[in-house]
Amino acid sequence: MEMTTAGQASIRRRSGLVFKYLLLAVLAFVIIFPFILGLWTSFLPTTEIAKGSLQGHLSWQNYHDAFTQTPILRYLFNSLVISLIQMAAHLFFASIAAYAFVFLEFKYREQLFYVVLATMMLPFEAEVIPNFQTVRSLHLLDHYAVMVIPFLTSAFGIFMLRQAFKQIPWDLKEAADVDGLSHWQFYRQVALPYSKISLLTLAAYSFLGSWNQYLWPMLTTFSNRLRPVQDGLRQLHSEETATNWGLIQASAAIVVIPTLIVLFWGQRYFKSGLNEGSVK
């Protein structure tokens, strides 16, 4: 009798396992299908795609065309520059502001913090009209600066790093005071190293946020020389879709592959960060 129960249990476990893998495979297929289709068609001749066919001679032709006939590389470069600057600015300005909210004593500290917190509630999309007028009057239109200056700091970043800095034992600050470290030294030598994971998370968040900007660059940049990649694709799409699907798919693939690589490479670090946080 005991053998049958044990045997049944193992059969049930095995069929359960098959079901689990089946479910995983179906879900994974649904998630990844748009990528696969996009990648596949990016290797097909446009004439075949236009006929609705998903077969044909595979070649790098579309990629060759994208690199030579469109400013896609320039778009990528623009986005990279803008995103890196914005990321660095967020890390620096948000971290010193957060430092002030945690380690400095001054009047209205809590009130000011709530003011910063309040800005997280206000959607940028609802403020584009005056902002557009502001950058126009500053003659910043169609310039890298227009995509950097309004986003030099991040209320979210200040909030997040404030939480991180609050985890630093107050003893460390007192010990540093005894040793005579200045605020700048304590910031550089203790606060930043102590909050590495939060800083990395903010860096990723800021980079992706900037990379995915769409509305603001669309309003403020008009030339291919400065256009970041999201609006570059928008441009290509509006110019080429009707005629050249292969080229569009290849451009989309060129844009998505670097971010996917960054994501998969960074995921390990992101996960280890998560794990570190969950260790009891």
Within 127-186, which residues bind other proteins (CB under 8 A)?
A: 127-134, 149-153, 155, 158, 183
Q: Among 68, 110, 123, 193, which residue sits at the site for other proteins (rule: CB under 8 A)? A: 123
193 binds other proteins (CB under 8 A): no
Which residues inside 203-242 make contact with other proteins, applying CB under 8 A?
Answer: 211-212, 214-215, 218-219, 229-231, 233-234, 237, 241
Q: Is 106 in the site for other proteins (CB under 8 A)?
A: yes
Beta carbons of 206 and 154 less than 8 angstroms apart: yes
CA gap 54, 136 in Å, rounded = 47
Residue 131 has phi, psi (to 5 degrees) of -65, -40
- What's the burial of 249, exposed, middle or buried (CB within 10 Å: 0-12/13-18/19+)? buried
How many residues touch other proteins under the rule CB under 8 A: the total is 89
Among 57, 68, 105, 178, binds other proteins (CB under 8 A): 105
For the bound state, the minimum distance from the C-beta of residue 18 to other proteins, rounded and expressed in Å, comes to 11
Q: Among 55, 68, 111, 278, indicate the residue that binds other proteins (CB under 8 A).
A: 278
Q: Which is nearer to other proteins, 21 or 60 (CB)?
A: 21
Q: How far is the CB of 60 from other proteins (least distance, A)?
A: 19
Judged by CB under 8 A, which stretch of 56-64, 105-113, 139-147, 188-196 contacts other proteins?
Answer: 105-113
Contacts (CB under 8 A) with other proteins, residues 41-100: 41, 49-52, 54, 93-94, 96-97, 99-100
Q: Judged by CB, which is closer to other proteins: 125, or 171?
A: 125
Among 31-39, 60-68, 161-169, 191-199, the segment contacting other proteins (CB under 8 A): 31-39
